[in-house]
Structure 1
Amino acid sequence: MRYDGPSPDRRTRAMVTTGGLVVAAVLAAGVALLPRSVPLADASTPTRSPVGTSPTAHAPAAGPVPSPTPSRIPVAPPAPDDLPVVTYRPAPDGFPADPDPLDTAPLTQGLRPLRRITAHTAPGGRPLAFLTPQISGYDLVVPITARRAGWVAVLLPSANRRIAWVPPGGWHTVALPDQLVVERRTHRLTWLRHGRPVRSWSVSLGMPGQVTPLGRTFVLARTPPAEATFGGVDVLALGAVPEDPAALPARLRGAHIGIHSWYHDRELGRDTTNGCVRLTPSAQQRLVDALPHGTGVVVVDRLPASR
């Protein structure tokens, strides 16, 4: 189902705090390593935790890669060795816009890199960056949005409403049974499994000037909360970044958007966060326990009444 609301056309990105992950809602960002606890945009005081061991990947088992007809597969141009790697830092410029950013159809398969693979502008198009098996120590799974001539389009991490095209080889597919749909006007988050609603909760969203970005994104990682204000429940860091990083407090510039709980529930149904999606600790725990890396998330203004 496609949502017929206003289509966002602005791409914004966030800077990354050196040495750790930060989330305008969630994850902190390092290039290779990342703290097990991370400061979030709604945090009362910035804190850092020492680097620890990488958590167990929260992703489903890999599946076989489809085998398209070789003669119809566009050849991937050679990639220079000095191409940038997609990390928690803002993704490189030049990737195409998501053609259906407000489409609420579930994205049921994800791509999991097995080695360093190239990300292109189109099937057979120019390579702009590498995708690697992990970002900051967390296993990477990106939702597949389209298939064409043996190539697949995926949602680009660390960017808003951007896709990348990936040639065959060097990755597996994984099943993505779940989806989260966030409605900004009604302040509702709905969890679906296999396209059927499981639960729906009232949420707090981004305040004016620091709005929760519209469009399709995904669960990038699960990380422990940085401090007690997050209600003691792990945070789900998303692939999306704040629309206007300059509008954030200085210590939060470098953040990703995330989903997390809070130490009180008095602001549910209001626009009070720095762009995050905030819900009750019990609801957050259910999502943390159920959702694998790569789970699709789509933020719309409001769903059609027929849904």
Structure 2
Amino acid sequence: MGDWRRGRRGVAAAVGVAVLLGGSAYAGWALTPSAGPAPVARPSDRAEIPSTTLPPLDEPVPTAAPAPDDLPEIAYDPAPAGFPDDPDTLDTTPLTEGLRPTRRLATYDGPGGRPVAFLMPTISEVPLTVPIARRERGWTAVLLPSANRKLAWLPPGGFRTVALRDQIVVERVPYRLTWYRDGVARRTWQVSLGQRGQETPLGRTFVLGRTPPPESVYGGVDIYALGSVPDDPASVPDGLRGAHIGIHTWHHDGELGQQTTNGCIRLTPSGQRLLLTEVPEGSPVVVVDALPAPPSTA
């Protein structure tokens, strides 16, 4: 997200992020999986695997309670309340499997728990891939879209899994973003992050989708929309209400290493282009204050 307070540049940034989110005021724009070069998705990298994970034979699978038809759907708007916290939200261990719904799926607050909302195969018409965070007694927990530091639990069936090779780790204190593949650091960039009161949210999230840049201030490079949202929605300008956190470029690099955004992660155009080429939707993103040791690429 851009800096709302800096004249035309701030106004353009605020509009741009609202567009990024596909808000009703800017309905002509939405996430698109095919804007610009398609992310690399080699068959061996992203081969789909049937969802056949089962518990040990002596451990029964908790029964899924019937889900009322009037449950809300998880969409671009903030996710409904009632989902459990992600207990490992600051863990940078790579999540190596993603889940792709093949139909409308009821999500629960725990294995055998209460149904909370429906997870759809798409969000804003973009095919959905969510990282798998844990498994328990035949159930699968995924990172919840449109929320921060929350999990959604699913019973067996109705989805396929895909291998995830890439991960993005953002460190707030050194203003650093590192791209990993297969657990190995590949590249590191300095970034700009959220200003005071609008800090870039901590925790695990993922690349939800991408959208073309709506204004020239974004440097002509596509934008990643993440699954995360501002921690304090009331703190952002009115034009950003309902916004997701994004990874994007800017029309200059003079603010790298500073807290100047409304929560988004800003890096160089060359860095963003490389990520867009290499890191597909569904890839996990983790925001921490600092890693125990700098990555080898720092």
Match of 1:269 among 231, 243, 257: 257
Deviations 1:145-164 (A, max 9, x none): 00111111100000000001
Report the CA distance shift for 1:49/1:232 in structure 2 as closer, same or farther (over 3 A). Answer: farther
Q: How far, CA to CA, are the matches of 1:117 and 1:23 in structure 2?
A: 32
Q: How far, CA to CA, are the matches of 1:23 and 1:165 in structure 2?
A: 33
Q: Which SS does the other structure have where 2:48 is aligned?
A: coil
Match of 1:186 among 174, 181, 191: 174
2:52 equivalent to 1:66: yes
Displacement of 1:62: 2.3
2:23/2:242 contact within 8 Å kept: no
Consecutive unaligned residues in structure 1, runs of 5 or more: 1-21, 32-46
2:229 equivalent to 1:241: yes
Q: How far, CA to CA, are the matches of 1:25 and 1:52 in structure 2?
A: 10
Report the CA distance shift for 1:109/1:227 in structure 2 as closer, same or farther (over 3 A). Answer: same
State the match for 1:221 in structure 2: 209
Q: How far, CA to CA, are the matches of 2:30 and 2:179 in structure 1?
A: 31
1:26/1:237 contact within 8 Å kept: no
State the match for 1:259 in structure 2: 247
Displacement of 1:65: 1.3
Displacement of 1:68: 1.4
2:226/2:245 contact within 8 Å kept: yes
1:26/1:256 contact within 8 Å kept: no
Q: Which SS does the other structure have where 2:160 is aligned?
A: strand
1:184/1:302 contact within 8 Å kept: yes
**TM-score calculated relative to the size of structure 1:** 0.83
Alignment of 1:78-117 (within 5 A): 78-117=66-105
State the match for 1:28 in structure 2: 21
Displacement of 1:254: 1.2
Q: How far, CA to CA, are the matches of 1:287 and 1:303 in structure 2?
A: 21
**TM-score calculated relative to the size of structure 2:** 0.86
Report the CA distance shift for 1:223/1:52 in structure 2 as closer, same or farther (over 3 A). Answer: closer
Report the CA distance shift for 1:25/1:289 in structure 2 as closer, same or farther (over 3 A). Answer: farther
State the match for 2:188 in structure 1: 200
Match of 1:290 among 260, 275, 278: 278
1:25/1:259 contact within 8 Å kept: no
Q: Which amino acid aligns with 1:155?
A: L
Q: Which amino acid aligns with 2:75?
A: T
2:125 equivalent to 1:137: yes
Q: Which SS does the other structure have where 2:272 is aligned?
A: helix
Q: Which amino acid aligns with 1:258?
A: G
Percent identity between the two aligned chains: 60
Q: Which SS does the other structure have where 2:286 is aligned?
A: strand
State the match for 2:108 in structure 1: 120
2:180/2:187 contact within 8 Å kept: yes
> Alignment RMSD, CA only?
2.2
1:90/1:158 contact within 8 Å kept: yes
